[in-house]
Structure 1
Amino acid sequence: MINYLDNAKTIGGVVAELPQASEIFKEFDIDFCCGGHRLLKDVVKLQGIDEKAINEKLNQIYEERVSSYQNKSQEFSNMSHPVLSTYIEDKHHSYLRKVLPETLELLTTILRVHGVNHKELFDVYKLFGTLKTDLEQHLLKEETMLFPAFNKEEENKDSIQKVSIEIINEHEAAGEILSELRRVTKDYQIPEDACQTFQNAYRLLEEIEDDLHQHIHLENNVLLKNYDIR
């Protein structure tokens, strides 16, 4: 059995090796995107998590991965940086550009209809508005300043390092907003008087959170792993 709680394994490193570990970490409420640089053993101890239980779950998905390895596609950690950048842009950036305005429209509607009885919607609307604005400029920064630099990575290491610091800091800020949204909505609990639009809005907020966790993990813990100076 592999000891995933040894002194060398970071949370992000485990997810880079075992992408399905992200589901285990969500189950135990472990931040694997913005907090991916932390040692897993330290977080498990800090949060009072059963060491044996989480290690057994991680080993289970490792065994499943080994048994199906021949049928799996290339792991993210084995992708070249230009290829991984393209994947992130095609999958995660495209998704955000589609879903952010859709979600804002739904939030505007439910705020008008339900805002009188659900004051928390004003906070949700404000938080999401900030997140949307920040992410839109963030995507452009990555697409114009970061991703193209990987095409000639050796020549651009200094500029990549500089922009990586900004990118990772912006990830931290996005993570804080996501945490606050979850707190304000009480883990996206649907009120009894919620209409279908209300339900759809909260569903999209959770989907955005999940996508951003995957997105940030790939960048912080795989793409920018060698540029993280924290």
Structure 2
Amino acid sequence: MIITQEMTVRDTVLQYPAASDVFKRLKIDFCCGGNRPIQEAAEARGLDAAAVVQQLNEMKQSAPNLGIGMDWQYMSSQALIEYIVKKHHQFLRDQLPQIAANVERVYHVHGGDQPHLVQMAELFRQLRKVLETHIDKEEEISFPIIIRAEEETDVVSHEDVRAVITELEAEHDGAGELLKQLRAVTNDFTPPEQACTTYRITYARLEELEGMTFEHVHLENNVLFPRFGL
């Protein structure tokens, strides 16, 4: 496969998973905004699309199997869901409280003379609430319906699945928008030169949260949901 500017970001990651590392580094959304051609996505970030594609093809040529650890396309929906819960949901349950503690500490210590930290703290509180509510609903309601739709096609209607998936995608978009605002408020998660260790760790962990959320949403929006014609 030769990667071209006309390929969508989504399809590139599906066919060559390691491309997600390049897109993350370049701050190109490959989950909620992944249906755009690489050319359009690159230009939106002020990047040279030809250079992005060249970078991807050079990486693919030198390491064609990089990032191909699991074949998501052929994994059963139940197995994929189990993976999402064990890796991504557990990551959120483990990390969100710790990130919250760092965010609040930095906000209380430095927020008085750095107003953007007030925005950062409020955005993170909103994001945490959205993500925690989202994963609970997925595990308790949405995922069981999706699994039943695949295993018991005569029990769960296409309309029921469509309603579930449409709602989840809207929540993904909401989380993505909050992450976008967090990145903007923190200057691409770049701490000031004089920032203390806790300040730097907080920004690093917020950026890690963004990356993990992109992977999480990619597996649902681009791999799981299209199986149901959506």
Give the structure-2-normalised TM-score: 0.87
Tell me, yes or no, if the aligned pair for 1:168 and 1:220 is still in contact at 8 Å: yes
8 A contact 1:164–1:227 mirrored in 2: no
The aligned amino acid for 1:114 is: H
Higher mean C-alpha displacement, 43-52 vs 128-137? 43-52
Structure 2: runs of 5+ lacking an equivalent: none
Change (3 A) 1:228 1:58: farther
1:105 equivalent in structure 2: 101
Report matched runs for 1:31-110 at 5 Å: 31-44=29-42, 49-64=47-62, 66=64, 68=65, 73-110=69-106
**2:2 maps to amino acid:** I
Contact 2:127–2:175 (8 Å) recurs in 1:
yes
Deviations 1:3-26 (A, max 9, x none): 4334xx322121111111112223
Question: Per-residue displacement from partner, 1:76-112 (whole Å, max 9, x unpaired)?
Answer: 2221111111101100000001111111111111222
Q: Residues 150 and 61 (structure 1 numbering): CA distance in 2 closer, same or farther, change over 3 Å?
A: farther
Distance 2:202 2:43 in 1: 36
Aligned positions of 1:137-156 closer than 5 A: 137-152=133-148, 153=150, 154=153, 155-156=155-156
How many residues of Structure 1 are paired with residues of Structure 2 in the alignment?
Answer: 225
Q: Which residue of 2 aligns with 1:4?
A: 4
Moved more, 71-80 or 101-110: 71-80
Between the aligned partners of 2:76 and 2:16, the Cα distance in structure 1 is 18
Structure ranking higher on relative contact order (CA contacts 8 Å, 6+ apart): 1
CA drift of 1:49 comes to: 4.1
Aligned equivalent of 2:226: 225
8 A Cα contact 1:100 1:132, kept in partner: yes
Percent identity among equivalent residues? 36
> Unmatched 5+ residue regions in structure 1?
none
Mapped to 1, the partners of 2:226 and 2:4 lie a distance apart of 19
Write the distance in 1 (CA, Å) between the matches of 2:72 and 2:63: 14
CA shift for structure 1 position 159: 2.1
* One-letter identity of the residue aligned with 1:187: D
Alignment partners' CA distance in 2, 1:3 and 1:99: 35
TM-score relative to the length of structure 1: 0.87
Task: Name the Cα RMSD after superposition.
Answer: 2.3
Q: Deviations over 1:179-224 (max 9, x none)?
A: 1111111112212342222122111111101111111111111111
In the alignment, structure 1 residue 198 sits paired with structure 2 residue 199 = yes
Cα deviation code 1:34-61 (max 9, x no counterpart): 1012233443455564343233333234
